[in-house]
Amino acid sequence: MKNLILSLVMLFVGSGMVMGQTATLSVEASDPVNSESIVNFQIKCDVIDDEVSTFQWFFQYDPEVLTPVDIVNYHEEFPSYEWMNNLSYGPDIIILTWLSSQAKNQVMKTGEVICELQFKYTGGKTELKWAKADDVTITSKNIVTAMWTQMGEIYYLTLKNASIGSE
């Protein structure tokens, strides 16, 4: 009986450690009018099961097709003054970092646009990809695309890339 109770306790504790916050994030591109035009990539939350207090997102792009211009249309729950962004982290890497100035969780609702990355588009087919340490082509491995709750719990993320243009 003691072994059965111990096994059940371990099952519940173990499943609690395996389970955690999950989110699916995606990037969607607006259609460029022509080459040499501005294109916006909307960053959306497709699925989320908890609130968020900070995130750091890395994106990889082809600098021969896209040139970063700005970050625009910030969601009201994630105001621009709470962001620390670097549009030139590497030759093909952008970093977006948000931290709640009030040190509290924010609700990220399914389907809402969090912000938009704005690029100059020079024509051709390319992707804007979520960058992770194990799949980027730059030398730095200090890349962690992640989100955390106020208690420091990390999200398990599913990330969807965007493509634009034609060959």
Q: Tell whether 111 is covered by a domain.
A: yes
Q: Tell whether 6 is covered by a domain.
A: no
Q: Tell whether 7 is covered by a domain.
A: no
Segment 71-100, tens digit of pLDDT: 999 999 899 999 998 888 878 889 999 998
- Whole-number Å distance between alpha carbons of 149 and 39: 31
Segment 9-30, tens digit of pLDDT: 333 333 334 457 888 888 988 8
Distance, first Cα to last Cα, the chain: 67
Measure the CA dihedral 126/130/133/138, to 10°.
30
Could you tell me which residues are beta bridge partners of residue 158? 24
Q: Tell whether 12 is covered by a domain.
A: no
> By the 8 A CB rule, do 42 and 28 touch?
yes
Q: Tell whether 66 is covered by a domain.
A: yes
- Whole-number Å distance between alpha carbons of 45 and 25: 5
Model pTM score: 0.78
- Kindly state the tokens that stand for 108: 């990220």
Segment 135-160, tens digit of pLDDT: 555 545 556 688 888 888 888 888 88
Q: How far is CA 14 from the centre of its chain?
A: 28
11: CB partners within 8 A, 6+ apart:
none
pLDDT of residue 31: 77
- Whole-number Å distance between alpha carbons of 44 and 51: 15
Question: What proportion of the chain, given as a percentage, has pLDDT over 70?
Answer: 78
Q: Tell whether 15 is covered by a domain.
A: no
Instruction: Show the domain range for 24.
Output: 20-164
Mean of pLDDT over the chain: 79
Domain count within the chain: 1
Smallest CA-to-CA distance from 56 within 15, 95, 112, 107 is with: 95
Q: Tell whether 8 is covered by a domain.
A: no
Q: Tell whether 109 is covered by a domain.
A: yes
- Kindly state the tokens that stand for 99: 């931290």
Instruction: Say which CATH number the domain at 115 has.
Output: 2.60.40.680
> By the 8 A CB rule, do 59 and 94 touch?
yes
